[in-house]
């Protein structure tokens, strides 16, 4: 049985340009594009080009790509939301993950609340 986490997702299609997206950054290892339902003036997603379905599936060999995703999120966040921003990774059902392709949300451009509830 194919687990739901292994199915093709909309982000697989965005990655190969088979689905449209507002791509704001791309290099050999990752891609960033604006969220289709932004929760703040700045809201984009950073994904690896090698598919990982969710954070809990990362292995030791994924350490380098995780670092890379954080570096790209930091660089883009700093330039697009200079007054501050937040990174979010939703994992699994209780984490409200809806797309099973690992992504870092970068949210900013307004005063955020903490705790987010
Ligand atoms: P999750 O809850 O899985 O962390 O968040 C998935 C995010 O992907 C949501 O914020 C949702 O708005 C965004 N999203 C879902 N479908 C699409 C799409 O087709 N294009 C873009 N750009 N974002 C999407």
Asked whether the predicted pLDDT for residue 4 surpasses 80, the reply is no
- Domain encompassing residue 101: 4-108
Asked whether the predicted pLDDT for residue 1 surpasses 50, the reply is no
Residue 32 in domain: yes
Residue 116 in domain: no
Q: How far, in whole angstroms, is CA 50 from its chain's centroid? A: 13
User: What value does the mean pLDDT take over residues 21-29?
Assistant: 98
**Tens digit of each residue's pLDDT (9 = 90 or more) over 67-87:** 999 999 999 999 999 999 999
Structural domain count, the chain: 1
Distance 99 CA to ligand 1 centre (A): 7
Asked whether the predicted pLDDT for residue 40 surpasses 70, the reply is yes
Query: How many CA atoms lie less than 13 Å away from 60 in the CB half-sphere?
Result: 0
Q: Determine the residue of 11, 38, 99, 100 to mutate for testing ligand 1's pocket, defined as the one with the most ligand atoms within 8 A of the Cβ atom.
A: 99
pTM of the model: 0.95
> Tell me, what's the pLDDT at 2?
47
* Catalytically active residues, by annotation: 103
Q: How many whole angstroms separate alpha carbon 60 and alpha carbon 96?
A: 25
Query: How many CA atoms lie less than 13 Å away from 11 in the CB half-sphere?
Result: 27
């Amino acid at each position: 049985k194919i687990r739901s986490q292994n199915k093709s997702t909309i982000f697989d299609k965005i990655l190969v340009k088979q689905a449209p997206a507002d791509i704001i950054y791309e290099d050999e290892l990752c891609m960033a594009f604006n969220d289709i339902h932004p929760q703040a003036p700045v809201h984009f997603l950073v994904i690896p080009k090698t598919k990982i379905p969710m954070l809990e599936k990362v292995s030791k060999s994924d350490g380098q790509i995780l670092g890379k995703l954080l570096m790209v999120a930091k660089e883009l966040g700093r330039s697009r939301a200079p007054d501050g921003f937040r990174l979010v990774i939703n994992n699994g059902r209780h984490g409200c993950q809806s797309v099973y392709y690992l992504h870092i949300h970068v949210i900013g451009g307004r005063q955020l609340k903490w705790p987010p509830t």
